[in-house]
Amino acid sequence: MTPNYLKVGDKVALIATAKRIDIGALDGAIREVESWGLKVIPGSNLYSAYNQFSGTDIQRRQDLQRAIDDPEIDAVIFARGGYGTARILDEIDWESFQKNPKWLCGFSDLTALHGHVFQNFQIETLHSTMPIFFKDGTPNAGSESLKKALFGNSHALKWNSHPLNRLGENSGPLVGGNLSVICSIIGSNSSIDYSDKILFLEDLCENLYHLDRMMIQLKRAEMLSKLKGLVVGQFTDMEDNEISFGKDANEIIFDAVSEYDFPVSFDAPIGHVKMNMSIRHGAIVRHSNLEQSIVSYE
């Protein structure tokens, strides 16, 4: 199910379900979103703090529950990632959201939310940049992509071919997100059945051997063998040991899926970069890389 796209005058909630945010740090981002013709409604606990979190579990859960229940809120934008969203998902009442779906927008730690909503309700969400990435109010490629996606103006995602690509084309629901978070929710009711899906992955600041361990975990859990395709986004600021692991991030992923035959596209503009293109998580797409890499909505 695809939520309704926005129009000028609609209201969007701005909430934080993970890492804490300094008071006033998002003033520029709020001005930018309101320049799109939207009215931003900050959550009551947007700038709350409890240790590293943006408030207690109860406070963060309250803001999410209010945002998805309020019929005057047309979309929910999550302020930043970090860690904390998975802690509150099991206590959320999704009844009103299922009756009145609205766009839920974010990435990184929000991967748990995207997975939960798709696996349980088959409702699309937006894997997108977040206000912390344009907090000074200066637009960038990611924020412009979010704007287009919210108003229904998103188009096919295209990027240059990569030497490690395995060529082909296929169709299926596009799902995934941050690899570390995907691994952290395996076995929970937020983990997606990846059979016949096109999986996309990204991550940040992981040691290369950690990346290999996570890919092997997905492989041993039979979460890779039945894919229709794999889209590899940006693996930013990866780290190595003093004794090198011997492969870079793309080579590690390539080796993990080498025995399968589905199309694989590397270097997609998705992840912890300013050019973080918005994706309708859960939408049916055509993935092709016969010339350049393309993800297009069907």
Domain assignments of the chain as residue spans, ordered by start: 11-150, 157-297
Query: What three-state secondary structure class fits 265?
Result: strand
Domain 157-297 indexed as CATH 3.50.30.60: yes
In 10 A of CB 158, how many CB atoms? Answer: 15
Which of 178, 248, 174, 187 has its CA nearest to residue 2?
Answer: 174
- If one looks up domain 11-150 in CATH, what number appears? 3.40.50.10740
Is the distance from CB of 146 to CB of 278 less than 8 angstroms?
A: yes
Task: Kindly provide the residue ranges of all beta strands, DSSP E only, lying in 121-191, ordered along the sequence.
Answer: 125-127, 157-159, 169-178
Strands 293-297 and 157-159 come out as antiparallel
Each residue's pLDDT tens digit, 5-43:
999 999 999 999 999 999 999 999 999 999 999 999 999
Each residue's pLDDT tens digit, 236-260:
999 999 999 999 999 999 999 999 9
Q: What is the pLDDT of residue 2?
A: 97
Q: What is the pLDDT of residue 155?
A: 87
Q: Return the sign of the alpha-carbon dihedral for residues 283, 62, 88, 201.
A: positive
Query: 144: Cβ–Cβ under 8 A, 6 or more apart, which residues?
Result: none
Residue 148 has pLDDT above 90, yes or no: yes
Residue 154 has pLDDT above 90, yes or no: no
- Conformational region of residue 37, where left means phi above 0, alpha means psi within -120 to 50, and beta covers everything else: left
- The Cα 248–Cα 274 span in angstroms is 22
pLDDT band at 84 (very low <50, low <70, confident <90, very high): very high
* % of the chain with per-residue pLDDT over 70: 100
Q: What is the pLDDT of residue 163?
A: 97
Residue 109 has pLDDT above 90, yes or no: yes
What number is the average pLDDT over the span 48-59? 98
Q: What is the pLDDT of residue 179?
A: 98
- The Cα 273–Cα 236 span in angstroms is 8
Each residue's pLDDT tens digit, 201-235:
999 999 999 999 999 999 999 999 999 999 999 99
pTM: 0.97
Residue 197 has pLDDT above 90, yes or no: yes
Per the prediction, the chain carries an average pLDDT of: 97
- The Cα 135–Cα 25 span in angstroms is 7
Residue 291, class by beta-carbon neighbours within 10 Å (0-12 exposed, 13-18 middle, 19+ buried)? exposed
Residue 50 has pLDDT above 90, yes or no: yes
What number is the average pLDDT over the span 97-115? 98
Is the distance from CB of 232 to CB of 253 less than 8 angstroms?
A: yes
Residue 289 has pLDDT above 90, yes or no: yes
Is the distance from CB of 75 to CB of 103 less than 8 angstroms?
A: yes
DSSP 240: -
